[in-house]
Amino acid sequence: MIAHALRHRRKGRALLGAVAALGLMGAGQGAPAESEQPTITAREKGVLTRDALHFHDLSGDGKLQPYEDWRLSPEARAKDLVARMTLREKAGLMMHGTPPTADGSFRGNWDVEGMRQAIERDQIRFFIHRMSGDIREMAELTNAAQEIAEASRLGVPLVFSSDTRNTLREVLGVSVAPKGFTRWPEALGLGAIGDADLVRKLSQVAAREYKAIGIRMALSPQADLFTEPRWFRGNATFGDRPEQVAPLVKAFVEGYQGSSQGLQRGGVATVVKHWGGYGAQVDGLDSHNPYGKYMAITEASWRNHLSAFEGAFSVRTAAVMPTYSLPTPGMTIAGKPVEPVAVGFNKQMLDDTLRGEYRFDGFVMSDWLITADCPRECREGTFEIDKLGMPWGVEALSVAERFAKGIAAGEDQFGGVMDTDVIVGLVESGKVTQSRIDLSARRIAKVMFELGLFENAYVDAAASPAQVGTPEALALGLEAQHRSVVLLENTGALLPLDPARHRKAWLVGIDAEAARAAGFEPVAEPRDADIALVRAETPFTSHPGYFFGSSAHEGALTMGPGTEGYDAVARARAAGVPVVLDVYLDRPAVLTEVRPMVAAMTGNYGITDQAFLDIVTGKASPQGRLPIELPSSDAAVEAQRADLPSDSADPLYPAGFGLRFPAKESIRDSR
């Protein structure tokens, strides 16, 4: 089973070792050394044998160096590795880059040769993975990039990260929706279910699918509290109360990382975000954009928002990502004024609170482009990528000064950048100490050792398609979609429908073939229908001139005249046809005006037409309860506080509301 590694990968030869160890390797405490032979895969370097055990000769010197010895703890290996690294190699660990693509698009396949300079010259070792193509091809490309890294001086492997990949919605910088991956509701839908065991199982599925294409870091979960109902990112949270969110965040991290004791070899490292208070944006405007820089939060409510992160800390999440946002002007912490800089540059919020109070000792990764300039084009709206930046509160500083300030505040790694010259220059000029760089490098390297990448950074590309979208996973994803649906209205117990009695259906927002498969006959006009089935989104506006603002869902929430959902319902109602309305609740819609016109109404958090029709026909039952309230008016939304949960006046549906089949009785929980 153990064979000598050969350097000629293109002849198809590599070393496959023994059973991978399953040691508990936490990000929050000293991880134990391993005692079982892990799998070794070598393509560009050799293999050492000592006492019948096998080790990856990453340094290429024929000697077993401490960082190559998997029997040592991740901390000990990281310390030895960093001591051997040049300043530029350490700086490379502190960058999280974006690979170039062959066609220049965001989702296209990588130009692996184009990555070579970043890997070999700038020593970048972390890259975000945005590809969404063929499963096997993506796996082969990650392997090809890993070969370049393995051939380097110390053989330090690459870590590929990804935004969420297992939901239906795709938004640049937020989520990826590649074909073949298992689908389930957005996190808010899992909050509607409230089942930590289900979240853990889904996370295990996601981790397997990530690993199949070489992704070993999840840029999730969001532990943010969805307290401002107009906010764009709330659909990726689990709700608006820490007691509701923290257990689900905990289960999410456990599922990805492989243990309640921290990151395991073979796990996927999690990056819990966005520390802290991101869900309390002024007017719900998002801080990716210059017009949405600020949170509206007090110290008391900020600490309430932070408490949701405790679920991730209790199971030793590998990393934390701060929010882009600026603290509320005049905010204090422990009686001291908070510096008016974004959280990623804010020592009080990072080093003093995250590390000092919460004792977090993983690594802190900035969100993308916080050190970049935001020139006039950025401020006024642009789609030019090289004109984008989010340096909120530190606009007057130079790029190098922003790096120095971020490091001083507690950042270890910077997202979206690959210029190691900056950090090298800061150390050489005496503005940042070598010891501080070493500290960040050790924190980052420790996670890399915990992942087991120094022994085996490769994936089996031929087998990867079989690991993605398995029948069992698809069934679990569909179950989650079913369970997440919230039944809001069911007049006269109309639902579930009998397609034999309501055969002719007027469809809006539903695929005709899916409806036929469910037993309905689609008709072109509502006057010819027995039933109207309407699927619509929560209304929104956007900032079309801004790169991120153009895809944001912002503004008023009312489904009234002139909105797609309202107008479709009104048309069916005018024809005398009963209406079943399903609303995508990425933000909490105001349904006061449309409610009197519908016979039945459901809310969803990202489900397929099939899942909706399964509910409508009774093949499955809705089990969701509102994870946040649905307000009664936009005026009530404007009057509520951005930093407090479900606090609007006289909500149309309170948090925890949900009906069941067939009774009309409301099912409420303690939320």
In a domain, 36, yes or no: no
In a domain, 40, yes or no: no
For residues 269 and 319, membership in a common domain is answered with yes
DSSP-assigned beta bridge partners for residue 264: 24
The CA angle 648-651-656, to the nearest 5 degrees, is 105
Say what angle helices 434-451 and 399-409 make with each other, to 10 degrees: 70
CA distance 253 to 4: 36
- Predicted pLDDT of residue 174: 60
Distance between start and end Cα atoms, the chain: 55
In a domain, 30, yes or no: no
Q: Are 82 and 442 in contact (CB under 8 A)?
A: yes
- Predicted pLDDT of residue 2: 33
- Predicted pLDDT of residue 178: 67
Question: Domain containing 615 — which CATH number?
Answer: 3.40.50.1700
User: What positions carry a catalytic annotation?
Assistant: 367
Range of the domain at 510: 485-639
For residues 367 and 508, membership in a common domain is answered with no
What confidence tens digit (pLDDT) does each residue in 412-464 have?
999 999 999 999 999 999 999 999 999 999 999 999 999 999 999 999 999 99
- Predicted pLDDT of residue 500: 85
For residues 453 and 552, membership in a common domain is answered with no
- Predicted pLDDT of residue 172: 64
In a domain, 181, yes or no: yes
How many helices (DSSP H) and strands (DSSP E) are in the chain? Answer: 18, 18
For residues 179 and 138, membership in a common domain is answered with yes
Question: Domain containing 358 — which CATH number?
Answer: 3.20.20.300
In a domain, 11, yes or no: no
- Predicted pLDDT of residue 15: 41
Query: What is the number of structural domains in the chain?
Result: 2
Look at residues 667, 659, 314 and name the one whose alpha carbon lies nearest to residue 496. Answer: 659
Q: What is 147-163 written as a DSSP string?
A: HHHHTSSS-PPPEEEES
3-class SS of residue 538: coil
H-run or E-run covering 76: helix 74-84
Residues 6+ away with beta carbon under 8 Å from 151: 44, 45
Residues of the chain with pLDDT under 70: 1-33, 171-175, 177-178, 663-671
For residues 459 and 595, membership in a common domain is answered with no
In a domain, 61, yes or no: no
Look at residues 402, 456, 458, 410 and name the one whose alpha carbon lies nearest to residue 431. Answer: 402
DSSP-assigned beta bridge partners for residue 659: 487, 666
For residues 388 and 505, membership in a common domain is answered with no
In a domain, 626, yes or no: yes
In a domain, 668, yes or no: no
